[in-house]
């Protein structure tokens, strides 16, 4: 039991240290980025952007990540190729720090081996009764974390982020249409959308802020827009990117295209809400059967059961 607690405490302390250190480094990066973009010290609408905007500009590895990278190279891991394959998934998860793929590979290739060895040693230890069951449970959890932990974490981050972006997209598109109809250019419209939706949809604000930054820094505006579709990997964003690229290349009316997209996704959001409402009767069937029906049967049959018991008690007493 003491060994189990020691392992859990060590994992919690290590994760806490990594989290605090990463937040400290991200704060320094953000302050440096604001100073570079706005010399007067103002953020100019960047306060609501998430860490992805900072990490997209500064791609330097931290000293800890560099040491992990050196260890992985010494083990024969092709870090450059593995990192290249993971970059897209990490971008879809909203983790744009250069350290992210290195941490992922380090856990997958080094920490997982340590966890497997610890799990085997812990599960084969002498124990009886509940202690043995506890050892197998903790060992099984460690084996699961070793083999599937990184992949499950990354997949959950991607799915969670996509749900948030999907929820924010119709409102963002409506506001972008209003800004374009008022005469604003694309860059100014994105800036206004980020200022208005920063508190409500921080994930969407981070994506649009990064796109706005790439539009200003990258010479190829089409490449900057395509990066938005690749980072999100969603049909809605790919449709928006296609409309923006069409407007950039052929000079077509961006207002008409955005209006059509806005109407389509508004109808899509309505159909999704109607689908969820149509599923409610089916979802309520199980609670009705297992919770309400016993109470209803008790109310209906309760008096008869009490009366029968009293009569039976009276007959038995006679």
Q: What is the pLDDT of residues 116-152, one digit of tens each?
A: 888 888 888 777 778 888 888 888 888 888 889 889 9
206-240 b/e with 16+ CB inside 10 Å = b? bbbbbbbbbbeeeeebeebbbbbbebbebebbebb
What per-residue confidence (pLDDT) applies to 156? 93
Identify the residue whose tokens are 């190279």: 73
pLDDT, tens digit (0-9, with 9 covering 90-100), for 12-33: 777 777 767 767 776 776 666 5
The residues of the chain scoring below 50 in pLDDT are 38-58, 315-318
Distances (CA, A) of 210 to 22, 51, 52: 20, 10, 7
Q: How much is the pLDDT for 244? A: 86
Cα three-residue angle 10-11-14, rounded to 5 degrees: 85
Tokens linked to 283:
């979802």
d(CA 107, CA 318): 79
Q: Report the alpha-carbon distance of residue 227 to residue 87 in Å, rounded.
A: 12
How many residues would you count in the chain?
A: 318
pLDDT confidence of residue 315: 45
Token pair for residue 19? Answer: 């989290």
The CA distance from 122 to 144, in Å, is 14
Q: How far apart are CA 166 and CA 163, in angstroms?
A: 5
- Asked if 158 and 93 count as a contact pair (C-beta separation under 8 A), the reply is yes
What was the pLDDT predicted at 40? 43
> Given this model, what pLDDT does residue 34 score?
59
Smallest Cα–Cα separation from 90: which of 240, 230, 234? Answer: 230
């Amino acid at each position: 039991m003491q060994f189990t607690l020691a392992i859990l405490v060590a994992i919690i302390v290590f994760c806490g240290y990594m989290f605090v250190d990463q937040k400290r480094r991200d704060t320094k990066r953000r302050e440096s980025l604001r100073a570079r973009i706005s010399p007067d010290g103002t953020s100019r609408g960047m306060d609501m952007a998430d860490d992805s905007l900072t990490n997209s500009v500064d791609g330097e590895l931290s000293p800890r990540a560099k040491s992990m990278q050196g260890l992985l190279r010494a083990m024969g891991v092709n870090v450059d190729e593995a990192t290249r394959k993971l970059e897209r998934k990490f971008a879809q998860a909203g983790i744009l720090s250069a350290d992210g793929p290195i941490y992922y590979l380090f856990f997958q290739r080094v920490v997982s081996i340590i966890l497997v060895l610890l799990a085997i040693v812990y599960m084969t230890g002498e124990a009886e009764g509940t202690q043995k069951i506890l050892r197998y449970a903790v060992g099984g959890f460690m084996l699961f974390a070793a083999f599937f932990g990184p992949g499950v974490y990354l997949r959950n981050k991607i799915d969670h982020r996509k749900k948030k972006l999907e929820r924010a997209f119709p409102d963002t598109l409506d506001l972008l249409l209003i800004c374009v109809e008022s005469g604003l250019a694309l860059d100014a419209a994105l800036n206004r959308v980020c200022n208005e939706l920063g508190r409500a949809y921080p994930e969407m604000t981070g994506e649009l802020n990064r796109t706005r930054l790439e539009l200003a820094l990258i010479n190829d505006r089409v490449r900057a827009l395509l990066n938005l579709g690749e980072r999100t990997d969603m049909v809605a964003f790919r449709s928006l990117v296609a409309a923006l690229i069409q407007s950039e290349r052929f000079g077509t009316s961006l207002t008409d295209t955005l209006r059509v997209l806005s109407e389509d996704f508004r109808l899509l959001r309505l159909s999704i809400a109607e689908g969820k409402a149509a599923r409610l009767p089916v979802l309520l069937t199980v609670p009705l059967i297992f919770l309400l029906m016993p109470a209803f049967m008790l109310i209906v049959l309760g008096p008869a059961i009490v009366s029968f018991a009293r009569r039976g008690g009276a007959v038995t007493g006679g």
